[in-house]
Amino acid sequence: CRVRHYKFNVVMKNSTKLCSSKPIVTVNGKFPGPTLYAREHDTVLVKVVNHVKYNVTIHWHGVRQLRTGWADGPAYITQCPIQSGHSYVYNFTITGQRGTLLWHAHILWLRATVHGAIVILPKRGVPYPFPKPHKEVVVVLAEWWKSDTEAVINQALRSGLAPNVSDSHTINGQPGPISSCSSQGGFTLPVDSGKTYMLRIINAALNEELFFKIAGHKLTVVEVDATYVKPFKTDTIVIAPGQTTNVLLSADKTSGKYLVAASPFMDAPIAVDNATATATLHYSGTLASSATTLTSTPPKNGTAIANKFIDSLRSLNSKKYPAKVPQTVDHNLLFTVGLGVNPCPSCKAGNGSRVVASINNVTFVMPTIALLQAHFFNISGVFTTDFPGNPPHTYNFTGTPKNLQTSNGTKAYRLAYNSTVQLILQDTGIIAPENHPVHLHGFNFFAVGKGLGNFNPKKDPKKFNLVDPVERNTIGVPSGGWVAIRFSADNPGVWFMHCHLEVHTTWGLKMAFLVDNGKGPNESLLPPPSDLPKC
Ligand code: C2O
């Protein structure tokens, strides 16, 4: 294993898209930002230097951070932010993971433009469990607003309404050839006929789940969220913000140009009409002037297409890569996730918004000292550990709205070191049922069950897949339904869990788990590095 050094300069940069320009916050002047490469078991040191007016943190989304919670990155959860003119070195080791992940800013809405790929290669000499592709290509999907994204969310919080949807999606930083302003040709993926390519697809969008398709080509899914899956073929993938998907693309045509499309998926009665992003798959030898073969995109409420894809995902569960699904459960939890109404719109706690979001009726209030610091140094008064393990009211999740009001609090749920957790995430549908992609920091989990309507604790667990469920770090809680996940609390520290739709995070759909230290020598959180930013 090696030590890899990176320097991330957070700088402003002017960017022109959709025929209009604005300054954006970037890493090293790039959008998307630089790809971070490592091998399994490498140690990575990233020096982040903040040259902008905003406070900044970077999160290594999906990196396990075993015992290194100080390097996880969510602002006021594991660290105080890096202030303007200051720097911080994120120091972590990649343990037992290989595949594609992403890094992104974890404060305000900065991740709109501050994000990039993490590519973790297997250990030297260890092959992929599928034929080696001719080439690998990172494909970062994102969103673009013509106006400043901090202004977009601030305006929404002032008005108490939902923020404006983005003006376009992007593929590797570009809206593409089919957009309202197509002066920029878009991303081109050059291929040679007869060769196989691996696309490392990342959804770095703020608020949008996406469908991804390539005209005339099937995709073989081999990995999600840096875990291998049983390969299967599909013509459409669905990917939520924070999720990653590796697919093999075999260039089985002799020539031509084929459209690549990323279009929104939103199975909720909410207006989403921002534009599909496009790119071009270009066979070598094809004239630039030749016509592109187009593809239809799924309807934005294409739930059946999304479900077909999601239900096809299974852990590879081979001898070499077994699915270590917890077979017993110490903590049996049910958390509701959803949107509610602020009991006190003039109170700061609910972000001053009319709409608030909550988990088990608690709208998370950001502290002013990082939870992990408060935990490690025994600073009292920052948070409490009385986060409810079950909903405080009886809900009819899919029926008439009840209990619209939420309570405010900075609460964590305490887990004993190495205990096993089963967590049902139940969509409340109180304002509107919506697919919430929930992300857990510090752990991978197994998605053992999923259903529509209300979770039935008597019947549903009998149908759980405890053999080869997909393992991941971000999962969509279906609209008006539930998912069941299992994980082992083997990572001491404070770990954020939240909806990865940034607007819902802003409204309070977030909480934290506190995992105690174990008794063994390698079972405790390490002390913080000396350059840990101060609040
Ligand atoms: Cu990718 Cu807490 O985020």
Per-domain boundaries in the chain: 1-125, 130-315, 331-515
pLDDT exceeds 80 at position 56? yes
pLDDT band at 399 (very low <50, low <70, confident <90, very high): low
Which residues are registered as beta bridge partners of 140? Answer: 202
Interval between CA 439 and ligand 1 midpoint (Å): 6
> What is the structure's pLDDT at 403?
57
The mean per-residue pLDDT over the stretch 430-455 comes to 90
Reported residue count of the chain is: 535
Q: Which residues, in sequence order, are CB contacts of 179 under 8 Å at separation 6+?
A: 18, 168, 186, 275, 277, 278
**Calpha distance 167→184 (Å, rounded):** 15
> What is the structure's pLDDT at 398?
61
b/e 491-518 (16+ beta carbons within 10 angstroms → b): bbbbbbbbbbbbbbbbbbbbbbbbbbee
Are 37 and 65 a contacting pair, CB within 8 Å?
Answer: no
More confident residue, 163 or 252: 252
> What is the structure's pLDDT at 487?
98
| Distances from the Cα of 423 to the Cα of 287, 331, 334, 444, angstroms | 54, 8, 6, 13
Quick one: which H or E segment has residue 27?
strand 20-27
pLDDT band at 355 (very low <50, low <70, confident <90, very high): confident
> What is the structure's pLDDT at 187?
96
Cβ(439) to ligand 1 under 6 A? yes
Interval between CA 283 and ligand 1 midpoint (Å): 36
> What is the structure's pLDDT at 308?
97
Are 204 and 138 a contacting pair, CB within 8 Å?
Answer: no
Ligand 1 atom closest to 498 (CA)? 2
Cβ(169) to ligand 1 under 6 A? no
SS3 256: coil
The mean per-residue pLDDT over the stretch 145-167 comes to 90
pTM: 0.96
Pick the CATH number of 130-315 from 3.10.450.630, 3.40.50.880, 2.60.40.420, 2.40.30.260: 2.60.40.420
Residue 124: how many other CB atoms lie within 10 Å? 10
pLDDT exceeds 70 at position 445? yes
Task: For this complex, say whether ipTM is above 0.85.
Answer: yes
**Calpha distance 144→166 (Å, rounded):** 6
The mean per-residue pLDDT over the stretch 248-264 comes to 96
pLDDT band at 339 (very low <50, low <70, confident <90, very high): confident
CA 207, 281, 255: angle at the middle one, nearest 5? 160
Cβ(242) to ligand 1 under 6 A? yes
> What is the structure's pLDDT at 266?
82
> What is the structure's pLDDT at 348?
46
Interval between CA 500 and ligand 1 midpoint (Å): 6
**Calpha distance 333→483 (Å, rounded):** 12
> What is the structure's pLDDT at 181?
75
Ligand 1 atom closest to 73 (CA)? 2
pLDDT band at 272 (very low <50, low <70, confident <90, very high): very low
Cβ(104) to ligand 1 under 6 A? yes
Ligand 1 atom closest to 74 (CA)? 2
Cβ(375) to ligand 1 under 6 A? no
Structure-block tokens of residue 340: 């509610």
Q: Do 1-125 and 331-515 show the same overall fold?
A: yes
CA 413, 414, 419: angle at the middle one, nearest 5? 120
**Calpha distance 533→56 (Å, rounded):** 10
Atom 3 of ligand 1: nearest residue by CA position: 61
**Calpha distance 76→250 (Å, rounded):** 45
Of 2-6, 176-180, 509-513, the poorest mean pLDDT is in 176-180
The mean per-residue pLDDT over the stretch 133-137 comes to 98
pLDDT band at 349 (very low <50, low <70, confident <90, very high): very low
Structure-block tokens of residue 220: 């073989």
Cβ(504) to ligand 1 under 6 A? no
pLDDT digits (tens, 9 = 90+) for 476-503: 999 889 999 999 999 999 999 999 999 9
Structure-block tokens of residue 138: 């990172």
**Calpha distance 54→23 (Å, rounded):** 13
> What is the structure's pLDDT at 342?
64
> What is the structure's pLDDT at 350?
46
Q: Does domain 331-515 have CATH number 1.10.3720.10?
A: no
Of 78-92, 168-182, 261-275, the poorest mean pLDDT is in 261-275
Cβ(111) to ligand 1 under 6 A? no
Of 22-26, 82-86, 260-264, 434-438, the poorest mean pLDDT is in 434-438
Nearest CA among 87, 91, 70, 68 for reference residue 79: 70
> What is the structure's pLDDT at 406?
79
Nearest CA among 82, 76, 77 for reference residue 46: 82
> What is the structure's pLDDT at 356?
78
Cβ(442) to ligand 1 under 6 A? no
Ligand 1 atom closest to 441 (CA)? 2
**Calpha distance 358→67 (Å, rounded):** 28
**Calpha distance 267→478 (Å, rounded):** 9
Ligand 1 atom closest to 241 (CA)? 1
Helices (H), 270-422: 303-311, 371-376
Are 262 and 215 a contacting pair, CB within 8 Å?
Answer: no
Nearest CA among 364, 361, 383 for reference residue 372: 383
Interval between CA 420 and ligand 1 midpoint (Å): 22
**Calpha distance 212→310 (Å, rounded):** 13
The mean per-residue pLDDT over the stretch 336-347 comes to 70
Cβ(498) to ligand 1 under 6 A? yes
pLDDT exceeds 60 at position 231? yes
> What is the structure's pLDDT at 267?
65
**Calpha distance 275→176 (Å, rounded):** 10
Interval between CA 405 and ligand 1 midpoint (Å): 26
Residue 252: how many other CB atoms lie within 10 Å? 12
pLDDT exceeds 60 at position 345? no
Nearest CA among 91, 87, 88 for reference residue 71: 91
* Mean pLDDT score of the chain: 93
The mean per-residue pLDDT over the stretch 347-361 comes to 68
Ligand 1 atom closest to 102 (CA)? 1
Of 76-85, 207-216, 269-278, 320-329, the poorest mean pLDDT is in 269-278
Phi-psi region of 428 (alpha: psi -120 to 50; beta: other; left: phi over 0): alpha
Cβ(496) to ligand 1 under 6 A? yes
Q: In what order do the strands lie in the sheet with 43-50?
A: 20-27, 3-17, 43-50, 87-93
Of the chain, the percentage scoring pLDDT greater than 70 comes to 92
pLDDT band at 343 (very low <50, low <70, confident <90, very high): low
Interval between CA 113 and ligand 1 midpoint (Å): 14
Pick the CATH number of 1-125 from 3.30.428.10, 2.40.128.690, 2.60.40.420, 3.90.1150.10: 2.60.40.420
pLDDT band at 182 (very low <50, low <70, confident <90, very high): low
Interval between CA 225 and ligand 1 midpoint (Å): 13
